[in-house]
Amino acid sequence: MAPVKISIIGAGSAVFSMRLVNDLCKTKGLAGSLVSLMDVDEQRLNGVHELASRYVRELGADLRFEKTTSLETCLHEADFVINTALVGGHAYLNKVRAIGEKHGYYRGIDAQELNMVTDYCTITNFNQLKFFVDVARLMEKICPNAWLLQTANPVFEGTNLISRCSNIKVVGFCHGHYGVIEMAEALGLDENKMDWQVAGFNHAIWLNRFIYDGRNGYELLEKWIQEGNLEKWRPKNPFDLQMSPAAIDMYRFYGIMPIGDTVRNSTWYYNKDFETKKKWYGEPWGGPDSEEGWKWYEQQLKTTTDAIDFLSKNRTLKLLSLNTYLKFLPKGAVPVEMKKEVEVFSSPDKLSGEQHIPFIDSLVNNNARRFVINVPNEGYIEGVPNGVFVEVPAIVDKDGWHVEKIEPKLTDKVLRFYLWPRMMRMEWALHAIMNGDKAALIEFLMRDPRTKTLEQAKAVIEEILNLPENQQMKTHYEKGLKL
């Protein structure tokens, strides 16, 4: 048993924070640990602290909490820092997207070729990216030996930026690789008989190895397609895209399957308008990044937030009772993913599936496990420069990560036509923010097919810079400041 201090920044994100608390409570090797919950929204912070404390008592777990609105207090003597914060929240993202659409950019100027995820903003999200750097530099002063587990988006730009602006040990986390399991379920495969591997960048990973029971798994995918299942496919929710027409079309072009959010991170071919999105990502939402898909997501978020608020205020409700959660779920058939979520919380031993706490346990207690994590490339993916963060499978133990040999290699099409262009967009965004290069922001938009004139690109950038919450961003770019 090795107790540690784990600091969660943006802990007011109740569902995610409670997943981490759930996993900590059920990881005996981390008993006695201190969890520092930090958020600037004191009301949400208090609600999460109340729920977490009750959950620990009901489970009889050995876990301590502190709550704070101070980043410095949160980082004091931390061993692991989990950054989940979204500066400005979804309200800021929606405001910036509305400005982009006003100037003729469908779904906003951050919707870009090979980067279509709605909350994965790169060129308008100065406050978010600057916060990433601020956290890392503060860690250098307060807890220089701590690990930073970067979870908040954009993970690809974020991990690369942090590594270039600080010496903190940073690793990126996402759960998009579970798309492999979704694909296995669709094909009727036993997960335990699969030998699989994914590689790429965050939200840009590909199934390079797919072997099932000693057989080429892609033959089974071809059989699924030939039997007419693609024509029968319908999404269960906006995020259910792993077997969508877009995913299969990408597979046909690149030679291997895109996994998880990679299906969303595609091209204008699938995303130029709502009708196009519906064709490739399914009726009625057209994926999570359309106007209807994102509306669905925000409604789910509100329902969850309301439920968390109710649970935190009604202290007589048992958090380990399945019935406590079922009353908040939609009437009628309970979606599978929601049922799985509540079964985890109401269980005395089930883990959430998030990788953070098992990763910490592997490092601290030498419990070797396999993860899919974002780490600096060291020849793991040939053709990608060393130092650029790649998302790859690795065994983690007390000595750190040990990345698997990526075999077989990614196809040339994936490397040249997908990863290289995605990497250059990351480099472009990082150059702009690290150098306060306003001209780079405008030039970035000049490569966008939605841009018709230079004046259009300048106007949208100016309006975003002049938002009240972007005063620091405006000064940074107008004075050409270094980050």
**261 within 8 A of 242, measured Cβ to Cβ:** no
Residue list for the binding site for substrate:
153
Which helix (H) or strand (E) segment holds residue 339: the answer is: helix 336-345
- Over residues 369-396, the pLDDT tens digits come to 999 999 999 999 999 999 999 999 999 9
Residue list for the binding site:
153, 174, 203
pTM of the model: 0.96
Domain of 4, CATH number, reads 3.90.1820.10
Q: Please tell me whether residues 400 and 418 are part of one structural domain.
A: no
Q: Please tell me whether residues 238 and 134 are part of one structural domain.
A: no
Closest to 258 (Cα-Cα) out of 281, 277, 236, 275: 281
Q: Please tell me whether residues 30 and 167 are part of one structural domain.
A: yes
* Radius of gyration (C-alpha) of the chain in whole angstroms: 22
Domain boundary among 292, 322, 344: 292
Chain Cα centroid distance, residue 250:
21
Classify the C-alpha dihedral 329-332-335-339 as positive or negative. positive
- Range 139-145, long-range pairs (CB < 8 A, 24+ positions): 139/75, 139/78, 139/81, 139/166, 139/168, 140/166, 140/167, 140/168, 142/72, 142/75, 142/76, 142/78, 143/75, 143/76, 143/77, 143/78, 143/79, 143/81, 144/168, 145/79
- List per-residue pLDDT tens for the chain, 483 residues long: 679 999 999 998 878 998 999 999 999 999 999 999 999 999 999 999 999 999 999 999 999 999 999 999 999 999 999 999 999 999 999 999 999 999 999 999 999 999 999 999 999 999 999 999 999 999 999 999 999 999 999 999 999 999 999 999 999 999 999 999 999 999 999 999 999 999 999 999 999 999 999 999 999 999 999 999 999 999 999 999 999 999 999 999 999 999 999 999 999 999 999 999 999 999 999 999 999 999 999 988 888 788 788 888 888 888 887 677 666 665 544 455 666 777 888 888 899 999 999 999 999 999 999 999 999 999 999 999 999 999 999 999 999 999 999 999 999 999 999 999 999 999 999 999 999 999 999 999 999 999 999 999 999 999 999 999 999 999 999 999 999
Q: Please tell me whether residues 52 and 145 are part of one structural domain.
A: yes
Q: Please tell me whether residues 164 and 267 are part of one structural domain.
A: no
- Phi, psi at 375, each rounded to 5°: -135, 160
Answer whether residue 99 is part of any domain: no
**Termini Cα distance of the chain:** 41
pLDDT for residue 334: 46
SS3 call for 413 = helix
Residue list for the binding site for Mn(2+):
174, 203
Q: Which residues form the domain of 231?
A: 177-292
Q: Please tell me whether residues 368 and 446 are part of one structural domain.
A: no
Domain boundary among 274, 292, 310: 292
Point out the residues that are catalytic.
Answer: 175, 261
Q: How many domains does the chain have?
A: 3
